[in-house]
């Protein structure tokens, strides 16, 4: 019998579509990575092949947008194939119809309720689609995320999203605070050693890459967040 923790976020922005599903059995599926060793850390960023024009997420399909970015990354992509917003919208419809939450995204149906989904459901959806293979969880917080980035892995994370996180400074740095706006799924694709910052990415038009301190990234993950890596299957 699994020990499930499920949380529905009060999504106060239509782009915030991540909910929390944690299963204790996931600890048996841990990301294949070396032990966290900060002495090996260096500046590193992984290229994401985004579709053109720049994607601009307007509904709560962040879980599948993050999955598309993870599977569009150098080292985890199919050459010549770029998963785009149309893919993320189509797969999100299947995801919300088959996840553990009430409501579903049904375009064209005025009575449907888009209640978001989860990182776990995004993995299962990618497997159903035939684009996603084995997925593994990362339980070492932001340190584990950085270590995976050092190994060339783009990590999909689901955390709460604060109101202050909608604002970036001139370098793209975001800060926590201002109250919880909802839950969000996004990816980490890089690390800046001198500033001790992670480089994240959303599909929010001009707001794509952003920066966040490793300490703040760790706080979000420790506060009910989750992180995973999933292999891209060739299709």
Q: What is the pLDDT of residue 25?
A: 79
pTM for this predicted structure? 0.95
Q: Which two tokens stand for residue 9?
A: 């976020």
Q: Does the pLDDT at position 66 exceed 90?
A: yes
Q: 104-151: per-residue pLDDT in tens?
A: 999 988 888 899 999 999 999 999 999 999 999 999 999 999 999 999
Report the distance separating Cα 164 and Cα 157, nearest Å.
18
Report the distance separating Cα 124 and Cα 130, nearest Å.
10
Average pLDDT estimate for 84-109: 94
Q: What is the CATH number of domain 4-25+54-232?
A: 3.90.70.10
Dihedral sign of CA atoms 160, 162, 168, 174 in order = negative
Dihedral sign of CA atoms 161, 166, 167, 172 in order = positive
Tracing tokens 């088959």 back to the chain, one arrives at: 98
What is the DSSP track for 75-101? TSS-TT----HHHHHHHHHHHHHHSSS
Contact 197, 213 (CB under 8 A): yes
Q: What is the pLDDT of residue 29?
A: 67
Q: 4-15: per-residue pLDDT in tens?
A: 889 899 999 999
Q: Does the pLDDT at position 235 exceed 90?
A: no
Pairing mode, strands 132-137 and 226-232? antiparallel
Q: What is the pLDDT of residue 229?
A: 96
Pairing mode, strands 180-192 and 132-137? unpaired
Average pLDDT estimate for 206-219: 95
Domain range annotation of the chain: 4-25+54-232
Q: 139-195: per-residue pLDDT in tens?
A: 999 999 999 999 999 999 999 999 999 999 999 999 999 999 999 999 999 999 999
Q: What is the pLDDT of residue 155?
A: 98
158 cis-preceded (ω within 30 degrees of 0): no
Q: What is the pLDDT of residue 3?
A: 79
């Amino acid at each position: 019998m699994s020990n499930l923790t499920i949380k529905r976020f009060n999504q106060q922005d239509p782009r915030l579509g991540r909910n929390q599903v944690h299963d204790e059995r996931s600890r048996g599926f841990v990301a294949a990575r070396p032990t966290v060793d900060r002495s090996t850390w260096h500046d590193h960023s992984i290229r994401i092949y985004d579709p053109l024009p720049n994607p601009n997420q307007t509904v709560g399909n962040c879980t599948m947008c993050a999955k598309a970015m993870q599977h569009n990354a150098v080292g985890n992509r199919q050459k010549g194939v770029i998963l785009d917003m149309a893919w993320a919208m189509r797969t999100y419809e299947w995801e919300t119809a088959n996840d553990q939450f009430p409501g579903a995204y049904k375009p064209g149906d005025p009575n449907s309720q888009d209640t978001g989904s989860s990182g776990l459901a995004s993995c299962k959806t990618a497997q159903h689609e035939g684009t996603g293979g084995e997925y593994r969880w990362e339980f070492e917080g932001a340190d584990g995320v950085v270590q995976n980035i050092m190994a060339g892995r783009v990590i999909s994370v689901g955390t709460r999203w604060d109101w202050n996180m909608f604002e970036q400074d001139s370098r793209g740095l975001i800060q926590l605070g201002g109250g919880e706006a909802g839950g969000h799924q996004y990816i980490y694709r890089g690390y800046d050693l001198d500033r001790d910052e992670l480089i994240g990415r959303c599909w929010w038009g001009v707001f794509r890459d952003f920066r966040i301190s490793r300490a703040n990234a760790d706080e979000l993950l420790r506060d009910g967040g989750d992180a995973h890596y999933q292999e891209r299957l060739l299709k």
